[in-house]
Amino acid sequence: MKFRFAHNNFNVLDLEKSVRFYQEALQLKEARRVAAADGSFVLVFLTDGETGHKLELTWLKDRKEPYQLGDNEFHLALTVDDFAAAHAHHEKMGCICYENEKMGIYFIHDPDDYWIEIIPARS
């Protein structure tokens, strides 16, 4: 028996705003979109174009209030080949929410306040 990662899910309030954020901040591309026949939900799967892993953004029609993310520190983590350029880009976007210079990483947050760890590519 062998298990492999397929995707992670984030529920979002404004689907198109979130899709734009992930495209601008992380250069993710929409791979697939699934809409319920009754319009109750839309799923958008984003890809980095290199790995098989996807980020699924879920929009629920009846959800109006922000999601309570709690105190757990779950997050996505992505590596980047040009850490300094990525940091400058995210700084310009105003989405850096935490930096740990000692560890050489930082976090950005999306429109729903999910955190994404940015890690320099290491050889």
Per-residue pLDDT of 63-95, as tens digits, reads 999 988 887 778 999 999 999 999 999 999 999
Query: pTM for the full model?
Result: 0.92
pLDDT at 123 over 70: no
Amino acid sitting at position 83? F
Of 16, 65, 99, 117, the catalytic one is 117
Does domain 7-62+74-120 match CATH 3.10.180.10? yes
117 in catalytic set = yes
98 pLDDT tier (thresholds 50, 70, 90): very high
- How far is CA 62 from each of CA 11, 18, 59, rounded to the nearest angstrom? 12, 17, 9
Across 67-85, b (16+ Cβ under 10 Å) vs e yields: eeeeeeeeebebebeebee
- Residue that has been written with the tokens 């319920």 in this structure: 36
Mean pLDDT of the chain: 95
